[in-house]
Amino acid sequence: MINITVLNKAGEERLLEVPEDMGLNLMEILKANEYNVLATCGGMAMCGTCHVQVLEGMDNLGAHSDAELDMLDTLPDAESNSRLSCQLQINENMDGAVFKLMAEEDIAV
């Protein structure tokens, strides 16, 4: 198990304990923890609705794929620390990382 910290749009912080050996990505972890991440495309770097910013631990994450960078380029609020959570495979290097949810939490009604 590793620990990561997640800030929702309102800035509320939660520490999550997540398994690093189950082949899950961060988007799946966020959904499993009841965050309203739309993830329209199911993790194919094609919708941008799983956008997060990495507040700590950016250097420990794998490189962006072209598809991920391409998608990030189309988002109005992406910064240099932006990632698509569906493209971040959970592994032990992610221990201690801090993520901020950026995608619109569209499930308002």
Ligand X SMILES: Cc1cc2nc3c(=O)[nH]c(=O)nc-3n(C[C@H](O)[C@H](O)[C@H](O)COP(=O)(O)OP(=O)(O)OC[C@H]3O[C@@H](n4cnc5c(N)ncnc54)[C@H](O)[C@@H]3O)c2cc1C
Residues of this chain that interact with another protein (CB under 8 A) are: 38, 40-41, 44, 46-49, 66, 69-70, 73-80, 104, 106-109
Compute the distance between CA of residue 71 and CA of residue 96 in angstroms, rounded to an integer: 26
Return the one option of ligand X, another protein, ligand FES, none that residue 50 interacts with (CB less than 5 to 8 A, by type): ligand FES
Measured distance CA(59)–CA(9) in Å, rounded: 23
- Binding of ligand X by 46 (CB under 6 A): yes
38 binds ligand X (CB under 6 A): no
Q: In one letter, which amino acid is 28?
A: E
Are 53 and 30 a contacting pair, CB within 8 Å?
A: no
**Which residues bind to ligand FES, rule: CB under 6 A?**
27, 39-41, 43, 45-50, 71, 84, 86
